Amino acid sequence: MKTTCILILFWPLSMLLLSDESQTSRTEVKCNFTENNYSLIPMDINKDVTILDLSHNRIALNIRDISVLQTYFLLTELYLFENNVTILYNNSFGNLSNLKILNICRNSIYIIQRGAFIGLKNLEQLHLCQNKMLQLNPEIFVPLKNLKLLNLQGNLISYFDVPQLFHLEIIILYGNPWNCSCGLLNLQNWLNTSNVTLENESITMCSYPDTLKGYSIKIAHYKAECQSKFPSPITEDLYINFQSISNSTFNSSLNNLTSNSEHGPLGKSWALLVGVVVTILLTSLLIFIAMKCPIWYNFLLSYKHHHLEEHEAEDGFTENPSSLSQIPDTNSKETIVIFEQVHSFVVDDDGFIEDKYIDIHELHEEN
């Protein structure tokens, strides 16, 4: 009876231990594909894989690779050490909620989009060492709620704002050209007041300015004015938001123009602009006057008319008497009639003389 009771009591515990062992055996499915010269992530990997090592290949982690990677949702460790990754796109690891270790060291990463680490809520270690990053936006780390180790060693970072990582224990920052100006004071205060350990502190040194070169970024002495003002953090980087580079270029040009207008004299381009505007205005004014005052061009295009005096007409006929003698079969009476017809002018209302056409044959028939 006692033996039966003991078995009944320990049976649930034994089942629990067996289930733990089965889960442990499941989490130890490893696949090693290092140095296989892969340019794409294989699609035929065991779907139960939990530890996947794709180091020393030529994988770029493009859209196709991201789609394949989402199918291995049981992954707890992923190694992409020394590949050809240059950009970490949004949702690159969105379906890998069980991932705890992500190593992407020794690639050529220079762009990390804002939502690259969305879905990695259980990630504990992130290794981004020996890439080509110039700066990091702290907002990319927001989804990493349980991150404990952040490795940024060997990049080109000169400024780094305080990341919102409340469970972070270790941060690795050496091998970067740190600029220990006022902008880095916020990071120094965070390193000295938080429980985060700066690994290799003695070799995490300032590169600029020269007066602080060789000092650890954690103990470098800043100028007095740095203590009195809060450094303005850089909220957006060129490589993090690469898609908006046209807007960044426009803003930069606008800032340069504003800066030039405040701190320096204007160039000579404004004189050319004023000349063009004045020329256009004068031309428009002349066209307007010409359209509104047609008397001007009427005066220029017309000739001057005046009434013909009687003595001028007589002189004209006396100077050229042959013009009348050329008319056939005419007598003196006809000549007088013709002369009268010639001198019959019609004065129009506009004050100009209009001569009538004289038909000699019709005049002869009438007489």
Q: Six-digit token pair at 288?
A: 């307007």
* CATH 3.90.1200.10 matches 27-225: no
Which of 57, 106, 105, 50 minimizes the C-alpha distance to 78? Answer: 50
Q: What does the pLDDT read at residue 258?
A: 42
Q: Six-digit token pair at 249?
A: 């270029």
Residue 38 banded pLDDT, cuts 50, 70, 90: very high
Residues 6+ apart with CB under 8 A from 14: none
Beta pairing partners, 101: 77, 125
pLDDT tens, position by position, 249-300: 444 544 554 444 444 444 457 778 888 888 999 888 888 777 766 665 565 5
Q: Per DSSP, which regions of 141-280 are E strands? A: 149-151, 170-172, 178-179, 197-199, 206-208
Q: What does the pLDDT read at residue 270?
A: 74
Residue 19 banded pLDDT, cuts 50, 70, 90: very low
Q: What does the pLDDT read at residue 136?
A: 92
* Alpha-carbon gap, residue 346 to 202, rounded angstroms: 117
pLDDT tens, position by position, 340-365: 454 444 444 555 555 555 555 665 66
Which residue type is seen at 23? Q
Which of 345, 338, 347 minimizes the C-alpha distance to 317? Answer: 338
Residue 302 banded pLDDT, cuts 50, 70, 90: low
Q: What does the pLDDT read at residue 353?
A: 52
Return the domain boundaries, the chain: 27-225
Which of 112, 68, 72 minimizes the C-alpha distance to 90? Answer: 112
